[in-house]
């Protein structure tokens, strides 16, 4: 009797977990299903759920036109550059702020986190036009720093604050400069924090849409912009559209599944999120 | 966001204090490069936006100093007023539901069960996914004739909906996407809170013979309140900032039924090229967000004290 009750309780809990994860699972599965079906199946009523047989034609079509590879390359260049630049300036800054307990500087970073990305675009757009830099990837990389720098600094502050200071103090007593103490003692210890910061900065830069949408020319679109443009011109061509959308978000989904521990740790540290 | 400057150092000797202050000055050099970037891409835009907002500034056209006229025009612009109301409605809905669902999910994930790590990773996939990609799939699901959601409704014996294609349902429908998208973040923040709760009160409650509901209502909920307020702050700000999914799915339509402040701002700046007027929108929007953030932080302080 008691065991039956425990079993029922577990069953109920299992069902509850299933209900919790099903919205996420179903949407992504539907995306996959749309991308593997012919146009005929995609517009069928009632909907066809399991592609029979699945076709890769949609993916072929995506790669065949639309300069998809060029846009993918743009996205890689932008996200990697914006992440590396943010690490170069953000990791030392996180260290400095943690050491100085400069909470006002930290608050400024927070304000950058809460203002909409769109609000930076007017002045930067005018500036880049005046400098005649529109049409290159440079403005896109620079604007992505609005997202990546606050993420890196914020994650690194909380990480360096959690490190014990004794080792660096020992190094300082032994005559190391503070730069050496940072470079050879604190930095190696901070590697897990840097991993978290890198992953989050990369993902939120990769996902960003609004900066590239305003600043990119024909040749400098990033993937989210390119995929959005597919919608406006091919309203009902669902197969290729889903294939492209899935390709854009697949790297991020895989990264999330592989590095979920780091991502959860980083996000819980302060609700970091891109602009 | 929580943690922070909580740990106070033990009182030090005067010499040690002086040494620390000396070091502090050197550490400033670590911040200089990042500070330069922040000035260039964050502070300069704010200052320049304020400056532009005092002009009648059309892209490629004339530029004329108008003082506060843009603000005066903004406050008598009915379209802006409607955009504010829509943003308010959207924000309230997009805060309440993720908080409720996020709390339930956090309580579930706080328990141990097989495959918990995998389930949690899958659960947070929506918030990590590329918003544009997600928005496109939802657009296809909302299609009134061919969309899978209307098939689900009719199969369940319910009348089909027009989703984002009707002015009366477009805001709740967009909120549905936002809830799907951002409930995981609330879950993570509250899960972190649950992990930090002390165990003793639960044991006391158990000894006193409290039911699970009573333990939740009188122990968990009050202890979790500071984290709930943090989640509330973050969610409110993110809901106010929402742009990508709304823009991709409806671009503010049908008509202007889903034109929130962000969409209004985007259209003024990059469709009509009214740079001065759009800058005034940014300034007002910024003031609203800052006021709200200050109010919420003040609430958080009070919650912490009680």
Q: pLDDT at residue B8 above 60? A: no
Answer yes or no: do B5 and A103 touch at CB < 8 A.
yes
Residues B145 and B241 in one domain: yes
Answer yes or no: do B137 and A97 touch at CB < 8 A.
no
Residues B32 and B75 in one domain: no
Residue A49 per-residue DSSP state: -
Q: Comparing B3 with B240, which gets the higher pLDDT?
A: B240
Residue B12 lies in a domain: no
pLDDT at residue number B63: 84
Chain A contact for B44 (CB, 8 A cutoff):
yes
- Residue B110, domain extent: 69-305
Residue A91: CB partners within 8 Å, gap ≥ 6? A152, A156, A187, A190, A194, A197
Q: pLDDT at residue B303 above 90? A: no
Residues B23 and B90 in one domain: no
Give the nearest chain A residue to B240 (CA atoms). Answer: A116
Residue A9 lies in a domain: no
- Residue A253, domain extent: 58-268
When pLDDT is averaged across residues A157-180 and rounded to a whole number, the result is: 85
Residues B140 and B228 in one domain: yes
Biggest CA–CA distance in chain A, Å, is: 78
Q: How far is CA B109 from CA B152, B162, B216, in A?
A: 28, 35, 15
pLDDT at residue number B67: 83
CA-CA distance, B15 to B12, in Å (whole number)? Answer: 8
B42, B121, B238 ranked by CB distance to A260: nearest = B121
CATH number, domain of A148, equals 1.10.3720.10
Q: Comparing B115 with B95, which gets the higher pLDDT?
A: B95
Place of tokens 């704010």: B46
Residue B58 lies in a domain: no
When pLDDT is averaged across residues A217-227 and rounded to a whole number, the result is: 89
Answer yes or no: do A127 and B48 touch at CB < 8 A.
yes
CA-CA distance, A60 to A62, in Å (whole number)? Answer: 5
Residue A2 lies in a domain: no
Residue A181 per-residue DSSP state: I
Residue A109 near residue A153, CB atoms below 8 Å: yes
Residues B268 and B233 in one domain: yes
The token pair at B237 is 């700000």
Residue B206 lies in a domain: yes
Answer yes or no: do B282 and A119 touch at CB < 8 A.
yes
Residue B222 lies in a domain: yes
The token pair at B280 is 């005034």
Residues B126 and B192 in one domain: yes
Give the nearest chain A residue to B179 (CA atoms). Answer: A23
Residues B40 and B122 in one domain: no
Answer yes or no: do A145 and B37 touch at CB < 8 A.
yes
Q: pLDDT at residue B105 above 90? A: yes
Given pLDDT bands bounded at 50, 70 and 90, which one contains residue A66?
Answer: low
- Find the angle CA(A154)-CA(B181)-CA(B250) to the nearest 5 degrees: 115
Chain B from 63 to 122: CB within 8 A of any A CB: 104-105, 108, 111, 113, 117, 119-122
Q: pLDDT at residue B305 above 60? A: no
Residue A85 lies in a domain: yes
**Is residue B245 packed enough to be buried (19+ CB in 10 Å), middle (13-18) or exposed (0-12)?**
buried
CATH number, domain of B246, equals 1.10.3720.10
- Find the angle CA(A202)-CA(A206)-CA(A211) to the nearest 5 degrees: 120
A155, A161, A164, A165 alpha-carbon torsion, rounded to 10°: 120
Mean pLDDT (chain B) is 85
**How does pLDDT run across B228-261, given as a tens digit for each residue?**
988 888 899 889 989 999 999 998 878 889 999 9
Total domains in the fold of chain A: 1
Chain B from 256 to 285: CB within 8 A of any A CB: 262, 265-266, 269-270, 275, 278-279, 282, 285
Given pLDDT bands bounded at 50, 70 and 90, which one contains residue B262?
Answer: very high
pLDDT at residue number B32: 86
Residue B3 lies in a domain: no
When pLDDT is averaged across residues B170-199 and rounded to a whole number, the result is: 91
CA-CA distance, B248 to B168, in Å (whole number)? Answer: 19
Please give, rounded to a whole number of angstroms, the shortest distance from the CA of A256 to a CA of chain B: 7
Q: pLDDT at residue A108 above 80? A: no
Residue B7 lies in a domain: no
DSSP-derived secondary structure for B209-248: T--HHHHIIIIIHHHHHHHHHHHHHHHHHHHHH--HHHHH
Residues B40 and B156 in one domain: no
**Around Cβ A220, how many Cβ atoms within 10 Å?**
21
Residue A260 lies in a domain: yes
Residue B64 per-residue DSSP state: E
Answer yes or no: do B34 and A153 touch at CB < 8 A.
yes
Given pLDDT bands bounded at 50, 70 and 90, which one contains residue A235?
Answer: low
pLDDT at residue number B40: 85
Least confident of A24-28, A97-101, A104-108, B48-52: A104-108
Residue A48 lies in a domain: no
Helix or strand or coil: residue B65?
strand
Residue A99 lies in a domain: yes
Q: Comparing B5 with B112, which gets the higher pLDDT?
A: B112
Residues B32 and B108 in one domain: no
**How does pLDDT run across B133-158, given as a tens digit for each residue?**
999 999 989 988 888 898 889 888 88
pLDDT at residue number B19: 57
- Among A119, A177, A209, A255, which would you mutate to test the B interface (most chain B Cβ atoms within 10 Å of its Cβ)? A119
| Angle, in degrees to the nearest 10, between helices B221-241 and B275-305 | 180
Chain A residues within 8 A of B55 when measuring between CB atoms: none
Given pLDDT bands bounded at 50, 70 and 90, which one contains residue B14?
Answer: low
CA atoms within 13 A on the CB side of B250: 30
Percentage of chain B beyond pLDDT 70 is: 91
Total domains in the fold of chain B: 2
A16, A146, A257 ranked by CB distance to B42: nearest = A146
CA-CA distance, B277 to B49, in Å (whole number)? Answer: 10
Residue B40 per-residue DSSP state: I
Residue A244 near residue A62, CB atoms below 8 Å: yes
Chain B from 205 to 224: CB within 8 A of any A CB: none
Residue B8 lies in a domain: no
Given pLDDT bands bounded at 50, 70 and 90, which one contains residue A274?
Answer: very low
Q: pLDDT at residue A233 above 70? A: no
Residue B203 lies in a domain: yes
The token pair at B272 is 């009509």
pLDDT at residue number B246: 94
Given pLDDT bands bounded at 50, 70 and 90, which one contains residue A178?
Answer: confident
Answer yes or no: do A90 and B34 touch at CB < 8 A.
yes
Residues B238 and B191 in one domain: yes
> Could you tell me which of B262, B266, B264, B267 has the C-alpha nearest to residue B243?
B262
Please give, rounded to a whole number of angstroms, the shortest distance from the CA of A122 to a CA of chain B: 7
DSSP-derived secondary structure for B163-194: GGGSTTTHHHHHHHHHHHHHHHHHHHHHHHHH
Residues B84 and B47 in one domain: no
**How does pLDDT run across B211-229, given as a tens digit for each residue?**
888 888 888 888 898 889 8
Residue A159 lies in a domain: yes
CA-CA distance, B298 to B232, in Å (whole number)? Answer: 13
> Could you tell me which of B88, B53, B48 has the C-alpha nearest to residue B68?
B53
Residues B246 and B103 in one domain: yes
Residue A22 lies in a domain: no
**How does pLDDT run across B37-95, given as a tens digit for each residue?**
888 888 888 899 999 899 888 887 788 888 888 899 889 999 999 999 999 999 999 99
pLDDT at residue number B210: 84
Chain A contact for B140 (CB, 8 A cutoff):
yes
């Amino acid at each position: 009797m008691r065991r039956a009750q425990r079993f029922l309780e577990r069953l109920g809990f299992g069902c509850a977990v299933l209900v919790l994860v099903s919205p996420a699972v179903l949407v992504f599965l539907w995306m996959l299903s749309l991308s593997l079906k012919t146009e005929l199946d995609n517009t069928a009523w009632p909907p066809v759920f399991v592609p029979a047989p699945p076709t890769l034609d949609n993916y072929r079509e995506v790669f065949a036109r639309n300069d998809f590879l060029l846009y993918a390359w743009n996205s890689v260049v932008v996200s990697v550059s914006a992440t590396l630049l943010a690490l170069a300036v953000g990791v030392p800054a996180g260290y400095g702020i943690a050491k100085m307990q400069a909470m006002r500087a930290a608050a400024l970073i927070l304000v950058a986190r809460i203002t909409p990305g769109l609000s930076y675009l007017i002045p930067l757009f005018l500036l880049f036009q005046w400098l005649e830099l529109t049409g290159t990837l440079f403005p896109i990389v620079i604007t992505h720093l609005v997202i990546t720098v606050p993420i890196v600094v914020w994650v690194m502050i909380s990480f360096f604050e959690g490190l014990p200071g004794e080792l660096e103090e020992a190094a300082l007593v032994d005559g190391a400069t503070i730069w050496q103490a940072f470079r050879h003692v604190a930095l190696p210890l901070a590697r897990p924090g840097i991993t978290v910061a890198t992953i989050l900065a990369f993902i939120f830069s990769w996902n960003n849409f609004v900066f590239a949408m305003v600043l990119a020319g024909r040749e400098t679109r990033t993937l989210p912009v390119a995929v959005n443009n597919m919608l406006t011109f091919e309203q009902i061509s669902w197969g290729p559209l889903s294939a492209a959308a899935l390709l854009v978000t697949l790297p991020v989904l895989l990264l999330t599944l592989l590095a979920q521990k780091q991502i959860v740790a980083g996000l819980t540290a302060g609700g970091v999120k891109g602009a | 966001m929580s943690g922070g400057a909580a740990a106070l150092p033990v009182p030090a000797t005067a010499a040690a204090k002086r040494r620390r202050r000396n070091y502090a000055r050197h550490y400033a050099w670590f911040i200089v490069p990042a500070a330069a970037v922040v000035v260039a891409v964050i502070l300069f835009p704010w200052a320049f936006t304020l400056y532009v907002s005092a002009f009648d500034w059309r892209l490629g056209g004339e530029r004329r100093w108008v003082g506060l006229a843009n603000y005066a025009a903004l406050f008598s612009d009915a379209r802006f007023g409607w955009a504010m109301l829509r943003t308010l409605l959207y924000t309230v809905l997009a805060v309440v539901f993720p908080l409720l669902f996020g709390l339930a999910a956090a309580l579930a994930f706080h328990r141990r069960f097989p495959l918990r790590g995998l389930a949690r990773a899958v659960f947070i996939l929506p918030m990590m996914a590329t918003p544009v990609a997600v928005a496109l799939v939802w657009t296809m699901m909302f299609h009134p004739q061919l969309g899978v959601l209307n098939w689900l409704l009719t199969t369940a014996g319910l009348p089909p909906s027009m989703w984002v294609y009707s002015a009366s349902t477009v805001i709740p429908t967009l909120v549905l996407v936002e809830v799907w998208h951002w409930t995981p973040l609330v879950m993570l923040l509250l899960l972190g809170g649950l992990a930090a709760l002390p165990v003793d009160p639960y044991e006391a409650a158990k000894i006193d013979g409290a039911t699970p509901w009573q333990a939740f209502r009188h122990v968990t909920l009050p202890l979790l309140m500071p984290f709930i307020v943090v989640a509330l702050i973050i969610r409110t700000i993110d809901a106010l900032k929402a742009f990508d999914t709304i823009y991709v799915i409806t671009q503010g339509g049908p008509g202007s039924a889903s034109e929130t402040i962000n969409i209004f701002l985007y259209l003024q700046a990059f469709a009509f090229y009214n740079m001065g007027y759009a800058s005034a929108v940014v300034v007002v929007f910024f003031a609203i967000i800052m006021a709200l953030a200050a109010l919420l932080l003040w609430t958080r302080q009070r919650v912490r004290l009680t």
